[in-house]
């Protein structure tokens, strides 16, 4: 952690006093520490305590300087935003996008990873609203350091106690490692469906939305990679930091990938590319008649196979959306397409499509296997990148 920038957000709970000890540990580890305290936090611990520990000014207000914009500067300068303790009120505001003080403005303005350490009474922690807000933040990629069970300020015993200091240090260190483990990598990602036109109003396509590819791009950017994203038709917005090429058909996607592949060090092909396209595209809408209609098809380029045949040092990860014999079919594709690894999921009944939860298994080599489990596509993006980084390190 030596030399890394951490913003420690302290909110108004009794556990705020423990954040001072955490600040000391971070500074001893070589962290450059910025501390932001909410108005309620100041009622528990004075800002002089944190200023003395960090040897830097403590930030408490959006209006502390009229010649600067503190929430933008602090949002951009730090490698991770760690909110310790995170009260139920702050968690709710972060989940809903409410920005009514310096800390919540920073959280909205940053692209740095967010880490939250909830601390509150058991009943508040278990409330449906709090659970929903934590699930929302987790799905967006926030790291949640689960609270412990023990003696609470209300002289009760239960869940809601701030996580131990060692657990907090380990979690912050883990997030910091991820923020630069793709530094120097140039990542190429394909995402979304393709559309193969029959006429001006009809096309062949599938139910893919591009969500998983967009989350992989977002996670790669957070880890320090340069990202090229080749994106098929989708209403979803790509991450701002990616160099995005919008395409519609498989041929357009193939051309865009060929133009970008020579720069890439890692490629992940998540796009659901149509295998076939109409042999003839009609200039005008085809009118309905009583006669039977036949649609002649021709093969589209195999984008993944083309990448596999011309890797030149590229680390290539494919995706296999299967409805049966998942791992058998995926391993066959792994070999045929010359991938270094392949992620497989079950899309029977349209599972795996859209913005909901997904489940992935990563396969490589003859018998390499890593179950990435079930989770939001944001969570699975982080797990997949963890696995890819480990595979690359192992050679």
Catalytic residues: 206
**Secondary structure of residue 303 in the 3-state scheme:** helix
Q: Where are the strands (E) in the chain, listed by range?
A: 5-10, 32-37, 58-59, 80-86, 114-118, 143-144, 148-151, 157-161, 186-191, 196-199, 202-204, 226-231, 243-246, 266-269, 276-278, 297-299, 315-322, 341-346, 358-364, 368-375
Cα distance between residue 236 and residue 339, in whole Å: 28
Residues 359, 384 contacting (CB under 8 angstroms): no
Residue with tokens 């296997």: 369
Q: Is 357 exposed, middle or buried (0-12, 13-18, 19+ CB in 10 A)?
A: middle
Cα distance between residue 231 and residue 218, in whole Å: 13
What residues contact residue 65 under an 8 Å CB cut-off, 6+ apart? Answer: none
The end-to-end CA distance of the chain, in Å, is 26
Cα distance between residue 355 and residue 357, in whole Å: 7
Omega prior to 85 cis, within 30 of 0: yes
Cα distance between residue 81 and residue 73, in whole Å: 13
CA 212 to chain centre: 9
Across 209-241, b (16+ Cβ under 10 Å) vs e yields bbbbbbbbbbbbbbbebbbbbbbbbbeeebbeb
**Secondary structure of residue 37 in the 3-state scheme:** strand
Beta pairing, strands 341-346 & 358-364: antiparallel
Beta bridge partners of 364: 368
Cα distance between residue 12 and residue 167, in whole Å: 21
| DSSP-assigned letters across all residues of 101-167 | SHHHHHHHH--S-EEEEE---HHHHHSHHHHHHHHHHHHTT-EE---EEEE-TTS-EEEEEPPPHHH
């Amino acid at each position: 952690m030596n030399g890394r920038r951490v913003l420690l957000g302290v909110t108004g709970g009794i556990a705020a006093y423990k954040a001072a000890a955490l600040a000391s540990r971070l500074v001893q580890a070589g962290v450059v520490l910025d501390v932001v305290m909410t108005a309620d936090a100041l009622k528990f611990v004075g800002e002089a305590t944190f200023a003395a520990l960090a040897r830097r000014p403590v930030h408490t207000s959006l209006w502390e300087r009229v010649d600067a914009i503190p929430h933008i500067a602090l949002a951009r300068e730090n490698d991770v935003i760690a909110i310790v303790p995170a009260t139920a009120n702050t968690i709710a505001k972060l989940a809903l996008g409410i920005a009514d003080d310096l800390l919540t403005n920073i959280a909205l303005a940053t692209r740095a990873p967010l880490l939250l350490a909830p601390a509150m009474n058991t009943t508040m922690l278990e409330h449906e609203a709090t659970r929903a807000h934590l699930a929302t933040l987790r799905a967006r990629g926030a790291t949640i350091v689960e609270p412990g069970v023990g003696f609470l300020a209300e002289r009760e015993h239960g869940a809601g106690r701030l996580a131990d200091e060692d657990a907090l240090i380990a979690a912050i260190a883990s997030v910091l490692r991820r923020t630069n483990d793709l530094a120097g990598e140039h990542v190429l990602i394909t995402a979304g469906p393709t559309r193969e036109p029959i006429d001006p109003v009809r096309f062949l396509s599938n139910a893919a939305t591009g969500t998983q590819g967009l989350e992989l791009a977002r996670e790669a950017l957070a880890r320090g990679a340069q990202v090229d994203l080749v994106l098929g038709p989708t209403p979803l917005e790509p991450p701002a930091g990616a160099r995005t090429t919008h395409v519609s058909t498989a041929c357009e996607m193939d051309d865009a990938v060929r133009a970008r592949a020579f720069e890439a060090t890692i490629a992940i092909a998540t796009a659901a590319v149509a295998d076939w396209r109409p042999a003839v595209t009609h200039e005008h809408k085809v009118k309905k008649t009583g006669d039977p209609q036949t649609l002649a098809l021709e093969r589209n380029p195999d984008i993944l196979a083309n990448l596999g045949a011309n890797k030149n040092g590229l680390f290539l990860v494919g995706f296999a959306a299967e409805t049966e014999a998942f791992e058998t079919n995926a391993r066959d594709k792994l070999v045929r397409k010359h991938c270094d690894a392949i992620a497989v999921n079950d899309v029977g009944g349209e599972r795996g499509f859209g913005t909901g939860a997904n489940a992935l298994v990563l396969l490589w080599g003859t018998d390499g296997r890593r179950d990435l489990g079930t989770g939001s596509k944001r969570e699975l993006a982080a797990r997949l990148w963890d696995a890819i980084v480990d595979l690359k390190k192992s050679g």
